[in-house]
Every structure is written in C-alpha cells, then in structure tokens.
Structure 1
Amino acid sequence: MADEAEAAEQWRLVNTPLGEEWSGRTRYAAAMYFHKRGEMDAETLEVYRICARLDREDPLPIIRERGVGRRWLERMTSESS
C-alpha cells in the first residue's frame, strides 16, 4: 500500500505544472523514480534532466521530437486524461 501511495505522489510530481518555481527539478526527480522502477527509459530521463533547470520547458514535445519514450508518452496521455 505504501508503494502505491509513493507511486501516486511521484506521478503527481512528474506532472507538476510548467512555470512553477523549481518545477523542472521536481519533474526530473520524479522521472528518476520512474526510471529506477523500469517505467522510463534512459533517453526519456535524459530529456527530463535537460529540462530540470527550465521550469517553463515541457519535456514531452522534446521526447516526441527525439523519437524516444513511446511507452512513457502513451502513459502520460492515458493517465492524464
């Protein structure tokens, strides 16, 4: 049960709204959580790392542009709806 609560909290954090102070770093930290669990590949995590200091930068279009993270993009689309 605690693992489910942690995953839900990390999901909330990876979806931190753009533009909030420290939001890029927050999203990156949450992305590392999903990467460690095997739910995000290294190329996708790298995009979150690049965007970590850019609070207004949405990593998803960059992930699409690079042609990586298909499984992650599908998850973001399905769970955000």
Structure 2
Amino acid sequence: MDPESDAEWRAQWALVTTPLGEEWSGRARYAAAMYFYKKGEMSAEALEVYRLCSRLDNEDPLPIIRQRGIGKGWLERFDQA
C-alpha cells in the first residue's frame, strides 16, 4: 500500500507542513514528525531538530536539517511534494 494513499498519513503530512508562524504550528509539526519517525520515514537526528523547533512557531526545521547534513530521505520527500 502506498503510504500517501492512507488517510492518517495524509493528515500527518498536512500537520508536518503546517505553515510557519501559525500559533502552535511548531508543536503540530513536531507531533507529526514523531508519527513519521515511528513509521521509519525520518531519522532520530531529524526528529530532534523538530523537537528543538517545537516551541518556535516561526522556525523552519528543514534548513537546519539540511545544514546538519541529516535526514536526506526526509528532505527528498519534501523536494518531491
């Protein structure tokens, strides 16, 4: 089964891509990142970046992940979206 056809996967994707600056958006992105981590789609190092950014609604975790050179597969998923 293609994960993107799963309703839960799509709901979590919507959360992990919550626009920056919305109230509680950092926490929403982190909660969704935990889902993808548990599914094996995100590394522990990338998840840690989401955790660090969770209280910073305006902070985009993706540039930090790129800067650290971690989460290559995760970044590729964003580049495809």
Q: Which bin holds the TM-score, normalised by the shorter protein? A: over 0.9
- Aligned equivalent of 2:9: 7
Give 1:29's aligned amino acid.
A
Taking structure 1 as the reference length, the TM-score comes to: 0.93
Q: CA RMSD in A?
A: 1.3
2:56 alignment partner, one of 38, 41, 54: 54
1:32 alignment partner, one of 31, 34, 37: 34
TM-aligned CA deviation for residue 77 of structure 1: 1.0
Q: Deviations for 1:2-23, whole angstroms, at most 9, x for unmatched residues? A: x800000000000000000000
Gaps of 5+ in 1: none
The alignment-based identity, stated in percent, is 71
Cα distance in 2 between the residues matched to 1:66 and 1:12: 24
Q: How many residues align?
A: 78
Taking structure 2 as the reference length, the TM-score comes to: 0.93
Give 2:11's aligned amino acid.
E
TM-aligned CA deviation for residue 44 of structure 1: 0.3
Cα distance in 1 between the residues matched to 2:32 and 2:80: 18
- Aligned equivalent of 1:67: 69
Give 2:33's aligned amino acid.
A
In the alignment, does 2:18 pair up with 1:16?
yes
Cα distance in 1 between the residues matched to 2:55 and 2:29: 10
- Show structure 1 runs of 4+ deviating over 2 A: none
Gaps of 5+ in 2: none
